[in-house]
Amino acid sequence: MDRRAGTFGLAACLLALLALGALACGSAGFGWGANGELLMLRLPRVLAALAAGCALGLGGANQQGVFRNPLADPGLTGVFGGALLGIALLLAGGADFAWNHRWTLPAAAFGGALATSGVLMLAAGRRSSAQLLLAGLGLNAFTAAGTLVVAARFPEARDVLVNGAAGDWLGSATLELAWAPILGCLSASVLLLTQAGALDRLALGEDTARCLGTEVDAARRHGVLLTALAAAAATCLVGQVAFIGLLAPHLARALVGPRHGAMLPLAGLLGGGLLLLADTLGRSLWTQAPLSAAAMTALLGAPAFVWIASRRHE
């Protein structure tokens, strides 16, 4: 218990220092000598990265527990693709209306992600977790193709959608745009924390979980829907960013063990820290042509994915 408390305390302190550093660093200037206006421009970006990373870390931990698969990630269920496709369809239906009513963008993302999750659950039925994950991969490919079709047919939405697919929306974060998705990320994160007991029982196997009183189908359904909410809100803030939902749970599990009561909140802290670190490095190391957070996480996450997959099949 003391070790876990120390781990949480250290993670929280490092996250606070990282947030302060992110406010002081960027392509427009470095250090605390930056003027107040510049700091206020950076603050929404920092808050958005923390909220989105926390939601993705918790969502990834939840997905790995629901599917009992260490390679599970919110992107594998089609949630990212569904959220972006929802935004794409809204822009295709009326870009002017969407920009004049900014609340419709997160609403469209929520709708797209939840619709994708609903189709996923209907398609999978009572099949195994592995089959459910494969169905999600198919849906992800379908939604990506749908977004490309919309981008090709509606040039006025093309740049926005391309930036979203590249995970490059953090650069345009403002308090006016970000407050609703941030609230969605925080709400989803709190709800995901309540899944800890069910995920511990699912880890023992579906038959054992049923014997312990867990409604396996309901727990799986709740987990998928809550992750849909978290990933949709995160997509509104940053676009599609891979590997945060994969890496944060594995790091948390290595530090505090597999019990979800401790692992879930630490995965949220680490997810926020990883995304903020990736965004800060991307805009600070290459000031003339900043890299998106998605590019930075891919540089680290892709090798980690290969390593985890190789260990999975040893």
Q: Which of 51-55, 104-108, 285-289, 307-311 has the highest mean pLDDT?
A: 51-55
The closest of 242, 232, 246, 199 to 51, measured between CA atoms, is: 232
Tokens 């290459």 -> residue: 286
* Average pLDDT of every residue of the chain: 82
pLDDT band at residue 313 using 50, 70 and 90 as cut-offs: very low
Q: Does the pLDDT of residue 25 top 60, yes or no?
A: yes
CATH of 2-312 given 1.10.3470.10, 3.30.450.40, 2.60.40.10, 3.30.2010.20: 1.10.3470.10
Residue 305's nearest CA partner among 267, 250, 265, 239 is 250
- For residue 111, which of 145, 133, 88 has the smallest C-alpha distance? 88
With helix as H, strand as E and coil as C, how does 82-100 read?
A: HHHHHHHHHHHHHHHHHHH
Compute the C-alpha angle 250/248/13, nearest 5°: 120
pLDDT in tens, 122-165: 765 655 656 766 777 788 888 888 888 888 888 877 878 877 77
pLDDT at 267: 96
The stretch 205-214 carries a mean pLDDT of 87
Quick one: average pLDDT of 211-239?
Answer: 86
**DSSP string covering 50-77:** HHHHHHHHHHHHHHHHHHT-TT--GGGG
Res. 199 pLDDT band, cuts 50 70 90:
very high
What pLDDT shows up at residue 133?
Answer: 67
Q: What pLDDT does residue 34 have?
A: 53
Read off the pLDDT of residues 212-223 as tens digits, 9 standing for 90 and up. 888 888 888 888
Do residues 145 and 82 touch, judged by C-beta distance below 8 A? Answer: no
In this prediction, what percent of the chain has a pLDDT beyond 70?
A: 86
pLDDT of residue 255: 92
Lowest-confidence range among 36-40, 59-63, 193-197, 235-239? Answer: 36-40
Note whether 235 and 53 are within 8 A (CB): no
Spatial separation of the C-alpha atoms in residues 198 and 66, rounded to whole Å: 9
86-124 CB burial, b ≥16 within 10 A, e <16: bbbbbbbeeeeebeeeeebbbbbbbbbbbbbbebbbeeb
Range scoring the smallest mean pLDDT among 115-124, 182-191, 217-226 = 115-124
Among 31-45, 88-102, 136-150, name the one with the lowest average pLDDT. 31-45
Residue 201 pLDDT level (bands cut at 50, 70, 90): very high
Q: What is the C-alpha to C-alpha distance for residues 303 and 149, in angstroms, rounded to an integer?
A: 31
